[in-house]
Amino acid sequence: MRKFNGPYDNMGFDKVGNHNDTGTKYNFAGFDKEGYHIRGWNIFGIFKHTGTKLDRSGFNKNGIHKVTGTKFDEDGFDRDGYNQKKINRDGIHKVTGTKFNERGYDLNGFDKDGYDKKGFDKFDWNVFEIYKHTGTKFDKSGYNRKGFDKDGSRRISRRKKSGYWTYYRKKSGYWDSNY
């Protein structure tokens, strides 16, 4: 039990838990009056909120996950909630505070306009309507970005929707029934 000489105990904390020198709940080393560090660990490696050597997410004092044995959990996130690309579970980048990294690309590698580093969109077409895998204006099936073949015939598909057959054409990488 701590002894109080005046308003502070022998560790420099008052009865409320504020430290004399820092004016906060932590001393200069980052420990509170109960001996737990700001991150929640004591010197014996016990986590304050679980009473075990693991925090609520399964990480130990050194940030190693109990299942993977690495600094990342099964989903690829560290104990602070960021993956190797510094993006959290909500898709926000640690440094920029946006969905884009320092170079302007999102988690999937696309910029704000929807193009990757090589200038292709998620459907593998670039702004010049060149298909990534063929290097031409036609995809592997022989259709251009707007769904036409070299003879000008449209790509048509039909699907049963609500009991009726609906015809679709491929437009900009997706099927559109409004043609």
Helix (H) or strand (E) holding 164: strand 164-171
98-143 pLDDT, tens digit each: 999 999 999 889 999 999 999 999 999 999 999 999 999 999 988 8
What does the alpha-carbon distance between residue 171 and residue 148 come to, in Å, rounded to a whole number?
9
Q: State the DSSP code for 60.
A: -
Question: End-to-end distance of the chain based on CA atoms, in angstroms?
Answer: 80
pLDDT in tens, 39-74: 888 988 999 999 999 999 999 999 999 999 999 999
Residue 153 identity (one-letter amino acid): S
Amino acid at 104: G
Taking CA atoms, 102 is separated from 93, 95, 178, in Å, by 9, 7, 39
Among 68-72, 75-79, 123-127, 165-169, the least confident range: 165-169
Q: Are strands 4-5 and 8-9 parallel, antiparallel or unpaired?
A: antiparallel
